[in-house]
Amino acid sequence: GQCIMVCPTGALHGQDDKQKVWDALADDTKHVVIQTAPAIRVTIGEMFGMEVGSLVTGKLVSALKRVGFDRVFDDCFGADVVVMEEGRELMERLESGKDLPQFTSCCPGWVKFCESFYPSLLDNLSSCKSPQQVFGALAKTYYAEKAGIDPDNIFSVSTMPCVAKKYEAQRPEMDDSGRQDVDAVLTTRELGEMIKQIGIDIENLPEQEYDEPMGYATGAGVIFGSTGGVMEATLRTVYEKLTGERLEDFELQKVRSQDFNEAEVKLDEDRSINVAVARGTGNARKLIHRVLSGEADYDFVEVMACPAGGCVGGGGQPIYSGRDRWARMVEDRVARADGLLKSDGRKDIKVAHENPFVKELYDSFLEKPHGEKSQKLLHTSYTDRQLYTHEERYSEQKGKEMKE
Ligand code: SF4
């Protein structure tokens, strides 16, 4: 019989966007910009025979320039802006005590899962868009203005380890720049194929720097690609704003690399922030049930739909066959996540609020985090997509089992 798989996150309904991007690159009237997700720089090398987890940021930029992009920017700049926005939102919620825990919202697989199965938690989702969409909205407003380009002529591409990001870019509400904020999303596989199509071997390319003003990111923005990264990046900023001191992250190291973890971050004698991280929708369910039953009392929760490592093991990453593929998959995710931590370690600035380009963005354009302009451009709302109540789902399932 035929097996029909239904993916609750929409992650299996991706289309190939290579031709759309080639067409835009061939159109002289278009100014084509690309943002690269953190996971790409530690994965694209393996599509060209390099060791898994090789960090090839400069070579990736070089390759994208040769493919023909007018500007090569870093999605991690968008992640730094998300830290500013989501961090402010968390501070506001901690102060008011309302809608806690705050759940992260940068994984479209998780957002769709929450809309479909736990709509009662939609007010707990951070209203901040994901780095991809924050970047997209800024590229067609802030960047367009700064560069003196008509935003209608900007074609905005992103390259992601994720198929659900295609769905996210197409959500009709993602048009706060006055037009669709992101025009096309390429997976790691599609991008690797495009680079191969023009006959380049990434390994032998010289290194190039990202373009300004949306190409510089701190270590905080870079670690978004591995699970626990969004949490840690945001806490680095929130902790410093609330205590005036740098967060020593040894406690949060525990939060990384497992399917579920929790930690308490002490602010002072009386105050602390309780955090948890879940990877994979099964672990998310368990965590949510603990929250809803009152068994757990968290302030801030990160959920990533992809198990074991988050985006470094996303659905747009290279796929391998062979008997040892499962073992290899786990090893590869660890190697890629290590590559991202290496990248964080090499960055002089580790906290988003010290990114000079982020400061400039707020000084000259946004004014302040979670202010009027950012609320309009960088925040969004969610939709209740629940088809059944939990009771209906349960009795339907029971009915099926009885028939069988
Ligand atoms: Fe996409 Fe998976 Fe990352 Fe979520 S965890 S953003 S579904 S790659």
Contact 343/92 with Cβ under 8 angstroms? no
Beta bridge partners, 113, equal none
Contact 149/134 with Cβ under 8 angstroms? no
This prediction's pTM: 0.90
Flag whether 250 is in a domain: yes
Tens digits of residue pLDDT in 178-226 = 999 999 999 999 999 999 999 999 999 999 999 999 999 998 888 877 7
Flag whether 393 is in a domain: no
Q: Indicate the pLDDT class of residue 404, thresholds 50, 70 and 90.
A: low
Indicate which CATH number applies to the domain containing 215.
3.40.50.1780
Cα of 313 from ligand 1 centre, angstroms: 8
Tell me the average pLDDT across 93-115.
96
Flag whether 220 is in a domain: yes
C-beta neighbour count of 133 within 10 angstroms: 28
| 109 CA closest ligand 1 atom index | 7
Tens digits of residue pLDDT in 298-322 = 999 999 998 867 788 888 988 877 7
| 163 CA closest ligand 1 atom index | 1
Tens digits of residue pLDDT in 252-304 = 555 555 678 888 888 888 899 999 999 899 999 999 999 999 999 999 999 99
Beta bridge partners, 94, equal none
304 lines ligand 1 (CB under 6 A): yes
Cα of 110 from ligand 1 centre, angstroms: 8
Integer-rounded Cα radius of gyration of the chain: 21
Q: Report ipTM (2 d.p.).
A: 0.99
Spell 283-295 as b/e; 16+ CB within 10 A means b.
bbeebbebbeeee
Flag whether 272 is in a domain: yes
Which protein residue has the closest C-alpha to ligand 1 atom 3?
Answer: 311
308 lines ligand 1 (CB under 6 A): no
Strands (DSSP E) contained in 8-140 are 31-36, 71-74, 102-103
311 lines ligand 1 (CB under 6 A): yes
Percent share of the chain, pLDDT over 70: 89
Flag whether 354 is in a domain: no
Task: Map residue 290 onto helix, strand or coil.
Answer: helix
Least Cα distance to 314 among 329, 327, 299 occurs for 329
Q: Indicate the pLDDT class of residue 240, thresholds 50, 70 and 90.
A: very high
275 lines ligand 1 (CB under 6 A): no
The structure tokens 């090789």 sit at 54
Residues with a known catalytic role: 86, 89, 106, 126, 165, 168, 173, 311
- Burial class of residue 241 in the structure, from the number of CB atoms within 10 Å of its CB (0-12 exposed, 13-18 middle, 19+ buried): middle
Contact 310/304 with Cβ under 8 angstroms? yes
> Who wins on pLDDT, 396 or 347?
347
Structural domain tally of the chain?
A: 1
Flag whether 242 is in a domain: yes
Max distance between CA atoms of the chain, in angstroms, equals 65
Ligand 1 mutation pick, 165, 171, 189, max ligand atoms within 8 A of CB:
165
Flag whether 335 is in a domain: yes
Domain region containing 283: 18-315+323-346
Least Cα distance to 44 among 56, 62, 58, 61 occurs for 56
pLDDT score recorded for residue 311: 84
pLDDT score recorded for residue 334: 81
Flag whether 91 is in a domain: yes
